[in-house]
Structure formats: C-alpha cells, structure tokens
Amino acid sequence: MWTALRRHTQARIGLGRAGTALPTRHRLALQAAHAAARDAVHSPFDPDAVAAELTGTPTIRVRSAAPDRTAYLRRPDLGRRLHPTDRAHLPREDWDVVFVVADGLSSRAVHEHAAAVIRATTERLPGLRIAPVVLAEQARVALGDDIAHAMGAGQVVVLVGERPGMSAADSLGAYLTHAPVPGTTTDADRNCLSNIRPPLGLSYETAATKLTTLMLRARELGLTGVGLKDESDGAESVAGGAGSLGPEA
C-alpha cells in the first residue's frame, strides 16, 4: 500500500519503526535533508553566476539594508528595504515590468532556476518594455516594491528562493505585484507561483505561461492579489496572495 502511495508524494509516509524509533536509514535521510535545508539558507548568493546565464540581458546588482546574512535572518525588515547607496544607481524610465532575482531563503533555488524562468517569461511578452534584471542580495519579497518604484516600473516580478522544506531545498517562488510602492508587505496584494523546480515542481514553461497570463490580466484590471485569478490551464495551483512555501514578504 505504501509503495503505491509514495509514487504520488515526496512526503515521508509509512517509514516504519525500529523499536520506538525510526529505522536507521530513514533517520539518516532525515538528517541529510535537514542539512541540505540549512545549506540552502546559508549558502551565499552568486549574482555573477545568474548574470552569466542571462547572456545578452542587462543586469543591475543591488543590496538590501541587511549588512550580512545574520542580520538578514534576524531582522526581516532590513531585507525589505533597499540600500540607500544602491538606490542612486538604479536607472529610471517608463518600464512596464522589472524582474528582480532575490536570494531569499534559498540561493540554490535562484542559481538553478531563476534565469530559465526569466528567459521563458520574457519570450512570451513581446512589445512590453522590460527593465534590466535586478540581482538583489540579502533580499526579501517586498524589496522588489522599493526597486520597482525607484525605477518607475509598472509591475515587478520577484523570483526568490523559498523557505526550504525537508523534501525541497531548491524551490523557487515568483511574486507579482502591480503598481508596486514601498511599504507593501501584505500578501493579499500579490500573486504567487510557488514550487518552481522541474521535474518535481512546476516546469519553466508552465510557470512562464501562468506568470504572463497574470501579468497581462493585471495590466487590464490594474491590480494584483486576491482580486486577480489565473485563467490559464491548471489554474488550481495558483492563488491570489502568497503561497504557503514562500518566505515572509
């Protein structure tokens, strides 16, 4: 029975027991998963690696107000504010959208998936004025609002490493906000695609299709969040508001 069920989930089910404890092999696997999750949170962000995968796409690098990883984890508010020095270097034009790649709580997810999602999404947005991709270090979701407002962008898509679980340390989230302004911390004003990580989560193509559908519909309605629903195929996997796996905004 357990073998059949395991084909449909990554959850640890039917592990059995050895006396009053887990069997040794499952206990060791759990410890390895915990170590992978800790590594994902603490591994440094490599913006050079992401920029190299975005060949031909202009990029800009910024930092949040968090001076280091320890401060980032202890002070979520600092990760939501743009470093004042970096703000002055952001170009301001009448952009339709800016993509922000943020390390979040899993730099591994960003390194493995962010560039591919951006390429697949921008291919589906002909005619839109797309700003240079912003690579943000020690960043939380709401930092994208500060960046987009400073650059004059009508929408912001923040690709961020989601909080690692015990079965997924490489999950990428995409957060869309229309008419972003600094100080927007409520998830009800955003739309989120969660668990982008093929082959076990959303594929790049599916994520890009859903994201572009939401972006174009948001331009028509002038809003994102609970008032905007995904109308593409498989819409049940997307909700107005943030997904449960994402980092706090």
Question: What is the per-residue DSSP string for 176-212?
Answer: EEES--TT---GGG-EEEEEE-TTTSB-HHHHHHHHH
Residue 86 lies in a domain: yes
Domain CATH for 221: 3.40.50.11240
Q: What is the pLDDT of residues 117-167, one digit of tens each?
A: 999 999 999 889 999 999 999 999 999 999 999 999 999 999 999 887 766
CA distance 181 to 154: 10
Residues in the chain: 249
Place of tokens 């968090």: 66
Residue 21 lies in a domain: no
pLDDT at residue 221 is higher than 70? yes
Which pLDDT does position 3 carry in this prediction?
Answer: 81
Angle, helices 107-122 vs 24-42, to 10°: value is: 70
Residue 88 lies in a domain: yes
pLDDT band at 243 (very low <50, low <70, confident <90, very high): very low
Question: Structurally, how many domains does the chain consist of?
Answer: 1
b (16+ CB within 10 A) / e for 109-143: bbbbbbbbbbbbbbeebeebebbbbbbbbbbbbbb
Residue 34 lies in a domain: no
Domain span at residue 48? 40-240
Mean pLDDT throughout 91-116?
94
Q: What percent of the chain has pLDDT over 70?
A: 91
Which pLDDT does position 42 carry in this prediction?
Answer: 74
Residue 46 lies in a domain: yes
Strand partners, 85: none
Residue 154 lies in a domain: yes
More confident residue, 232 or 151: 151
Q: Is 12 helix (H, G, I), strand (E, B) or coil?
A: coil
pLDDT at residue 27 is higher than 70? yes
Residue 148 lies in a domain: yes
Residue 29 lies in a domain: no
Q: Is 28 helix (H, G, I), strand (E, B) or coil?
A: helix
- Tell me: cis bond preceding 84? Omega within 30 of 0 counts: no
pLDDT at residue 37 is higher than 70? yes
Q: Which two tokens stand for residue 17?
A: 């027991």
